[in-house]
Amino acid sequence: MKKDYLPKHVALIMDGNRRWARKNGLLIFEGHKFGEERIEPIVDTAIDMGIPYLTFWAFSTENWRRSKVEVNFLLGLYRKQLDKKIDSFHKKNVKLNIIGNILMFPKDIQRKTKEWMEKTKNNKTITVNLALSYGGRDEVLRAIYKLTQESKIKDQELKKIKKEEFEKYLDTAGQPDPDFLIRTGGEMRLSGFMLWQLDYAELYFTDILWPDFTPDEFKKALKEYQSRIRRFGR
């Protein structure tokens, strides 16, 4: 596959972990474990292809509504796996960034997350965003709050705010918007993911469940992206 005309930023909605577990006769929690193992191979492939930004939607604001047992399992998985893999990511020159309302997480996860981001902040090969406790509407509301608080903008002046100014207060400030969104699991909707940033992204939906989404499937999606002509409304 040619490495020209590739997206600079790929966003991924990792859907289908629980369905994959049921399909394979496993407890639904096992699906999350297998799904987590798919992240690093996709990062490695993106590095090899020269893609500088990836965003994985790992936990939504709506996921807090799941059973307490499942939520606690996901929090434990996050603690364990990132603790285990942060050194590997660091050696690969990966900059780890978190988007979402991290204040909704327990204090120890907030602390660990800040430590991981600090450790990798100067890495340059690729920026990997993990969207945790993330919802698109929540992000926009938080951005508006930060803008009004930090800029001391009066209500009547909000009408004059330009797009570029507003974007400085989004979780992805300083990053290019995703060119390409991949959603696994067969659903054909955004579910509120990166509502502002995906304005003109190319969308790719696949029936492949996330734990079965291999680097070859990733390359297949990228090849589809290369076949499209982007007009941006022109």
Single out the catalytic residue among 24, 44, 63, 177. 63
* C-beta separation of 127 from 43 below 8 A: no
Q: What is the DSSP letter of 59?
A: E
Question: What pLDDT is recorded for position 184?
Answer: 98
- Using CA atoms, how far apart are residues 58 and 81, in angstroms rounded to an integer? 13
Question: What pLDDT is recorded for position 81?
Answer: 84
pLDDT score of 66 more than 60: yes
CATH of domain 9-133+178-225: 3.40.1180.10
Of the pLDDT bands very low, low, confident and very high (cuts 50, 70, 90), residue 21 is: very high
More confident residue, 80 or 194: 194
pLDDT score of 117 more than 80: yes
pLDDT score of 40 more than 60: yes
Q: Is 115 helix (H, G, I), strand (E, B) or coil?
A: helix
Taking only the tens place, the pLDDT of each residue in 188-207 is 999 999 999 999 999 999 99
Question: What pLDDT is recorded for position 147?
Answer: 85
The pTM for the full model equals: 0.93
Per-domain residue ranges for the chain?
Answer: 9-133+178-225
Strand order across the beta sheet in which 202-205 lies: 94-99, 126-134, 53-60, 9-13, 180-183, 202-205
Task: Assess whether 216 carries a catalytic annotation.
Answer: no
Q: Is 58 helix (H, G, I), strand (E, B) or coil?
A: strand
Distances (CA, A) of 161 to 108, 139, 156: 37, 17, 10
Task: Assess whether 199 carries a catalytic annotation.
Answer: no
Single out the catalytic residue among 15, 138, 171, 212. 15
Question: What pLDDT is recorded for position 205?
Answer: 98
Least confident of 44-53, 80-89, 112-121, 187-196: 80-89
